[in-house]
Structure 1
């Protein structure tokens, strides 16, 4: 049983949708028939390439919106642009994220704020700005968290805390926005290595400590997103751990 008919025109907004996991999620949702608002900030070339690629199959189905999510007013501007262009909003995917180490002894206030602003404040403000539109269509919010929300990564205290806050927000909004909007989260494990990180002993150790003995693929996240959107009408306030079992290992 699906929440939305495949023939029904629906609109999704994905932040950080031009690259990496976000790009794959855009393609997956677009392939299911959804029109997509792709948010980006610095990845302008990648965003326009993605729009060109996908609109070969369906014209006028991608709308690009650029914005710095650290600016508090940007969330309302992004939602307003999406509504002005497509006229509705059915799905919000809070995917955009900042990731870097924050050793307690040398982390600046600006570094602290960047992680909190991007990983927690922006999803909150986007949910706030989009809730009335999502409610009209009995829509959904999916937040991309991290397994480190539960088991913090060493020397990444602020990142881990920001994702823990996002997980808590998922549960809080699921209660507040029910029964009209479902709110869930996806917590990836090792899917893509951080950019510029060569494969070495550290990466192999992570694989060895994963019960399924491999890293995941972007397709694993895309399938989870499609499930939460299309086939989970009675699921809200939950986090799907897409991590090969790492979150259950001591």
Structure 2
């Protein structure tokens, strides 16, 4: 059996998720790359990683809004190498919902990926995880300081923040649960931003720039390492100071 530790990362085919996968793989982890619709990107990422270390990456497709699919995802992730040492709940739906126009379908969509799936997937994975394993939830630096126009999204991410602390209590002392709260790391994909819009957003960041996906990946790597062995229930902001303004 391959002795490498195994991490399941959700929403891992692209952007921050792919950066997390690459960071952990470079540290010697075997990685399970979850995706919903980005099959080509997931397969290409797995091929890239396996070219450097054969039999070290695996892809699994699942709709995280489907509760039964979450149970199956946990089982298949564990079955691939016969162990599961980390879960990174990264997958997230993100778009504006102007107040007064929010629909039940939008709220359910945002809640499904940002709070419901992390809860149910962690619950499904926990019995399969090794003693001393860890969960990392990707939250949001503004989860408790919501921006106008994103009420539903921030409600879900705020719930995930609280859930991180609650699960840390529920799963201690066998498993650790922590979170990372990104700020402006990458420009959003739901709409094009003009140069003026980008300048306006960066003016809100004390460090004056985007953080990039690798900053989040490094923090996840730390929280999964022995260097964070006495940390649980913590949410670390990686936001260039955005939350301060």
Q: TM-score band (shorter)?
A: over 0.9
RMSD: 1.3
Give the Cα–Cα distance (whole angstroms) in 2 for the partners of residues 42 and 206 of structure 1. Answer: 29
Check the 8 A contact 1:11/1:36 in 2, yes or no. Answer: yes
TM-score, with normalisation over the residues of structure 2?
0.95
Give the Cα–Cα distance (whole angstroms) in 2 for the partners of residues 14 and 8 of structure 1. Answer: 19
Give the Cα–Cα distance (whole angstroms) in 1 for the partners of residues 89 and 192 of structure 2. Answer: 25
- SS class of match (2:67): coil
2:211 corresponds to 1:209: no
Where does the alignment leave 5 or more consecutive residues of structure 1 unmatched?
1-6
Partner in structure 1 of residue 152 of structure 2 = 158
Give the Cα–Cα distance (whole angstroms) in 2 for the partners of residues 83 and 56 of structure 1. Answer: 22
Q: Shift of residue 114 of structure 1?
A: 0.5
Give the Cα–Cα distance (whole angstroms) in 2 for the partners of residues 171 and 41 of structure 1. Answer: 27
Partner in structure 2 of residue 12 of structure 1 = 7
Note the 1:74-113 alignment, pairs <5 A: 74-113=69-108
Check the 8 A contact 1:92/1:140 in 2, yes or no. Answer: yes
Give the Cα–Cα distance (whole angstroms) in 2 for the partners of residues 158 and 170 of structure 1. Answer: 19
Which string of whole-angstrom CA distances, capped at 9 and with x for unpartnered residues, describes residues 172-203 of structure 1?
Answer: 01111111111000010000001242342222
Give the Cα–Cα distance (whole angstroms) in 1 for the partners of residues 72 and 186 of structure 2. Answer: 30
Q: Shift of residue 104 of structure 1?
A: 2.7
Which string of whole-angstrom CA distances, capped at 9 and with x for unpartnered residues, describes residues 60-99 of structure 1?
Answer: 1111110110111111000011112111110000000001
Distance 1:38 1:98, change over 3 A: same
Which string of whole-angstrom CA distances, capped at 9 and with x for unpartnered residues, describes residues 8-47 of structure 1?
Answer: 5200000000000000000000110000111001100000
TM-score, with normalisation over the residues of structure 1?
0.93
Where does the alignment leave 5 or more consecutive residues of structure 2 unmatched?
none
2:31 corresponds to 1:36: yes
2:229 corresponds to 1:244: no
Aligned residues: 242
Partner in structure 2 of residue 4 of structure 1 = none
- SS class of match (1:183): strand
Note the 1:1-250 alignment, pairs <5 A: 9-134=4-129, 136-195=130-189, 196-230=191-225, 231-249=227-245
- SS class of match (2:146): coil
Give the Cα–Cα distance (whole angstroms) in 2 for the partners of residues 199 and 211 of structure 1. Answer: 21
